[in-house]
Structure 1
Amino acid sequence: MESPTQPPAPVMAAYTYCEAVTGRQARNFAYGIRLLPTEKRQAMSALYAFSRRVDDIGDGGLDADAKRERLEATRELLQRIRRGEVGEDDTDPVAVALADAAGRFPIPLGGLDELIDGVLMDVRGETYETWDDLKLYCRCVAGAIGRLSLGVFGTQPGARGVERAAEYADTLGLALQLTNILRDIREDAAHGRTYLPADDLAKFGCSDGFHSSAPPPGADFAGLVHFEVRRARALFAEGYRLLPMLDRRSGACVAAMAGIYRRLLDRIERDPQAVLRGRVSLPGREKAYVAVRGLSGLDARHVTRRNPRGRA
């Protein structure tokens, strides 16, 4: 439940820092959380800034041992926050903001432990044989973020099916992550990472990987992309069941963020090889349009009409 109490000046400064990090490094996310009331927006920025720190360790130039050491140090910081040992006089603004947010909202901080576990999977260079294997990774790095966010959003009292809200938030996170994986195929390949399941790659003749602006010789790359797009659409449709359980502004925030990614998915579906030529993105005016549709509830109604039972 939101607290009406204004945070003290050092905490406000910490939130300002986290909002600056969010605006600079997560434009899609920042568009969505603009629709939230101040306290929820601040809390979401704190969650993002902590998550960004974890991701940056995994993506940084340190060797694997150094990355593991820094990730475990970050996990210990999370433990200190959980134990109430981080106060407003702490020198780490992200920790200060997250500690305050966790005191104001029922945020399941264990989700950030899951995120660290997922980044450790990247550090180990894990690959995924099947979709079920990849889902475990996606649940750590994205489903957990959905569940953490739900702690900030809360649910409407008496909302139908609310006992499944965390499941739907998790599924929506999977949808966003699979979209990210499709968008970043070439970039990930350049860093030696392959996320799409080996079974799927083999089925469409893409096991050789993606190291140029052209698909592997003889590959049905468009078939692979369309297959994964259908999977992502089914996840979006299932995850959108969360929206009626949220208040209007929280639902608008989720619909805006998810709507941006669904439009990315539309672009990828229309031109699969675009993801091999560079990063697919939306212009700012289209993101703003999606945010307005989210606030009006139009995107959510569109998805539920097309997929009334969460099918692709």
Structure 2
Amino acid sequence: MTTTSDVDTAYRRCEQITRSRAANFAYGIRLLPQAKRRALSAIYATARRIDDIGDGTLPPDEKLDRLERTRTALHLLPGDGRDPVFTALADAAARMPIPLAAFDELVDGCAADVAGRAYGTFDELHWYCRCVAGSIGRLSLGVFGAADPGRAGPLADALGVALQLTNILRDLVEDRADGRIYLPAEDLDRFGCTLRIDGTRFADPPDRLIALVRFQADRAARWYDTGLRLLPLLDRRSAACTAAMAGIYRRLLDRIAADPLAVTRSRVSLPVREKAWVAARALVGRPA
């Protein structure tokens, strides 16, 4: 039997995971009232577990097996109560309309990574972005609540896609070194790029890389423009949380668009004080 003390301990573990592993999301999550903050931390900790399986060092077959076992465990919540992350998630789902089935999509996206799936068109990449990030937007909306759920759902999904497109640009070199190319083949062909690595950098001519990255950044910016229409549908604290998380990533995207070759030199990031500034503005209703 799971006690109140067990549940509190489980939430504290999820919040610890979020603070230590969610460098950008933590700035927004901390703006929420306790109940929503704990619930969103449980969602993040669960998503982190799934991502870690996909990004880990196990052989592909073992990764896929663990992903499927995690999927099954999520369908059987609350389980035996011995797993703190699932204990917290089950409690949050009992209190809020969290669409737990969206975790199936996250598992599908991570399985695609394990299989080394490539994307020929943006429609195919869009599927992947919805799986690994749009799903988190929809799960988060279950915590936030919304004045018009029918409108809010697609907007939360779109914001997740915007964040994932930003991640893809930020991690271009790192992903390529791991053998992954997320940018659609049709876009690589359009700009005459291969993303072949020569030593420690891309072999493509700089002007072609600049054009490719700016094209992708413009696409991501349009997804932000759509997704941020979600903010007026949320209560003040939930809107602040969303605006802080999205604002950090949007500023990161702006930095990439201003200097596209930066993503070929190192992983682009924002300084801590700039992230804190974005979060502070979001809290007072002035998104960055």
TM-score exceeds 0.5 = yes
Q: In the TM superposition, what are the counterparts of 1:72-151 in structure 2 within 5 Å?
A: 72-81=68-77, 85-86=78-79, 90-151=81-142
Cα offset for 1:217?
A: 3.6
1:292-307 to 2 correspondences below 5 Å: 292-299=280-287
Which amino acid is 2:180 matched to? R
The answer on 1:188 being equivalent to 2:175 is yes
Task: State yes or no: 1:31 paired with 2:27.
Answer: yes
**Which residue of structure 2 lines up, in the alignment, with residue 176 of structure 1?**
163
Which residue number in structure 2 is paired with residue 203 of structure 1? Answer: 190
Contact 1:206–1:219 (CA<8 Å) still a contact in 2? no
- The aligned counterpart of 1:273 is 261
- Pairing partner for 2:154 from 167, 171, 196: 167
Shift in Å at residue 257 of structure 1? 0.2
- TM-score, normalised with respect to structure 2: 0.96
Contact 1:205–1:218 (Cα < 8 Å) also in 2 = no
Matches of 1:278 and 1:44 in 2, distance apart? 30
Instruction: Summarize deviations over 1:31-84 as a string: whole Å, max 9, x none.
Output: 110100001000000000110000000001111110111001101110111xxx
Paired letter, 2:262: A
CA distance in 1, matches of 2:106, 2:196: 26
Query: Over aligned residues, Cα RMSD in angstroms?
Result: 1.4
Tell whether the 8 Å contact from 1:35 to 1:249 is kept in structure 2 after alignment: yes
Structure 1 residue 13 corresponds to structure 2 residue 47: no
Q: Which among 191, 216, 222 is matched to residue 228 of structure 1?
A: 216
Shift of residue 86, structure 1, vs aligned partner: 2.7
Report the CA distance between 1:272 and its aligned residue: 1.0
Amino acid at match of 2:56: G
Q: List runs of 5+ in structure 2 lacking aligned partners.
A: none
Separation in 1, partners of 2:158, 2:203: 30
Query: Letter of the aligned partner of 1:143 in structure 2?
Result: G
In the alignment, structure 1 segments of 5+ residues that lack a partner are 1-6, 303-312
Moved more, 186-195 or 206-215: 206-215
How many residue pairs get aligned? The number is 285
- Separation (CA, whole Å) in 2 of partners of 1:192 and 1:239: 30
Equivalents in 1 of 2:150, 2:108: separation in Å?
26
Asked whether the equivalents of residues 28 and 244 of structure 2 are also in contact (C-alpha less than 8 Å), the reply is yes
Q: What amino acid is aligned across from residue 247 of structure 2 in structure 1?
A: G
Q: Give the match for residue 308 of structure 1.
A: none
Residue in 1 that maps onto 2:39: 43
Deviation of the 1:232 alpha carbon? 0.6
SS in 1 for 2:119: coil
- Partner residue in 1 for 2:144: 153
| Native 8 Å contact 1:222 1:273 kept in 2 | yes
Question: What amino acid sits opposite 1:106 in the alignment?
Answer: P
SS of equivalent to 2:189: helix
